[in-house]
A = this chain, B = another copy of it.
């Protein structure tokens, strides 16, 4: 499978696949012309990468998951290294959630205040 086909099948771009390879996540052999050749298994790898990116992982964090898949596991997250990253990320996401809830409440309060203010002014003038 050439890079264009893998990109299309994985729903991404050739540029992206080269980027992943550059960062040691995706592997390819080369044909006589120097074109990248991909194993069918790479499709799953790319799928795993994109799924994890969607969850907010950085490429560096994704490496253990890919290694886990390559080791023959049915899923990328069942290996110890992956679990460690999962734990860290879960804690991180929880932190962001807490912080974001605080922000949300602040926004909500300010909005309520502003509306209250406007209501009072309206009662005075109307």
User: How many subunits of this chain does the assembly comprise?
Assistant: 2
Q: Do A93 and B104 contact each other (CB < 8 Å), given the known contacts A77-B110, A87-B111, A111-B87? A: yes
Chain B contacts for A106, CB-based, 8 A:
55
**Cα-based distance from A54 to B111 in the complex (angstroms):** 17
Name the CB-closest residue of B to A97.
B100
- Which of A22-30, A37-45, A113-121 faces chain B? A113-121
Q: A interface vs B, CB < 8 Å?
A: 54-56, 75, 77-79, 82-83, 86-87, 89-90, 93-94, 96-97, 100-101, 103-104, 106-108, 110-111, 113-115, 117-118
**Cα-based distance from A101 to B78 in the complex (angstroms):** 22
Q: What distance in Å separates the Cβ of A79 from its nearest Cβ neighbour in chain B?
A: 8
**Cα-based distance from A45 to B93 in the complex (angstroms):** 32
Q: Return the contact of A114 from the options B86, B101, B111 (Cβ within 8 A).
A: B86
Chain B contacts for A89, CB-based, 8 A:
107
Chain B contacts for A82, CB-based, 8 A:
114
A-B contact pairs, 28 of them (CB 8 A): A55-B103, A55-B107, A56-B103, A75-B110, A77-B110, A77-B111, A77-B113, A78-B113, A78-B117, A78-B118, A79-B114, A82-B114, A83-B114, A83-B118, A86-B110, A86-B111, A89-B107, A90-B107, A90-B108, A93-B100, A93-B103, A93-B104, A93-B107, A97-B97, A97-B100, A97-B101, A97-B104, A100-B100
